[in-house]
Amino acid sequence: MVENLGNWPISIEITVQWGDMDALKHVNNTVFLTWMETARMAYFEECGMMDTFESEKIGPILAAIKADFLAPVVYPDTVVVHTTISKMGRSSFEMAYKIMSSANGGELVATGSATGVMCDYSTGSSTPISENLRARITDLEWARLP
């Protein structure tokens, strides 16, 4: 288990679209999951995980996702989604998310978590997180500290 992670190295600004809202006149809950996915993919690109997928067909697969909604978001707004890998096991990792509303002065409007598993897409089986990828994740988590 790798410790001392969870330093929130990736932040993505996303403009809320009119079509993100539902009949109840706030952003639909599924949109929050899409925002988390956007931040997750930015993290994967930044640490080189997607390069590993392209070259070795070993990459992440989503095993679980959870969101806690703290306040509604409405159009117009811009949200900032922060993400981090908070824990790594042998073949799995946990990510955390914070979503902030710019229209509400940076108010925390949602939190979330996801569990990913490294998968060998040629066999469909889980596979250990390589030492190289572990090092890149640790470097990313520590490179952006103030």
pLDDT in tens, the chain (146 residues): 445 588 999 999 999 999 999 999 999 999 999 999 999 999 999 999 999 999 999 999 999 999 999 999 999 999 999 999 999 999 999 999 999 999 989 999 999 999 999 999 999 999 999 999 999 999 999 885 55
Query: Domain 10-143: which topology?
Result: Thiol Ester Dehydrase; Chain A (3.10.129)
Report the share of the chain in percent with pLDDT over 90: 92
Q: Residues near 71 by Cβ (< 8 Å), separated by ≥ 6? A: 101, 104, 107, 108, 109, 110
pLDDT computed for residue 1 by the predictor: 46
What is the pTM for the complete model shown?
0.93
Which residues in the chain belong to E strands, given as ranges? 10-15, 58-69, 78-88, 92-101, 107-120, 125-126
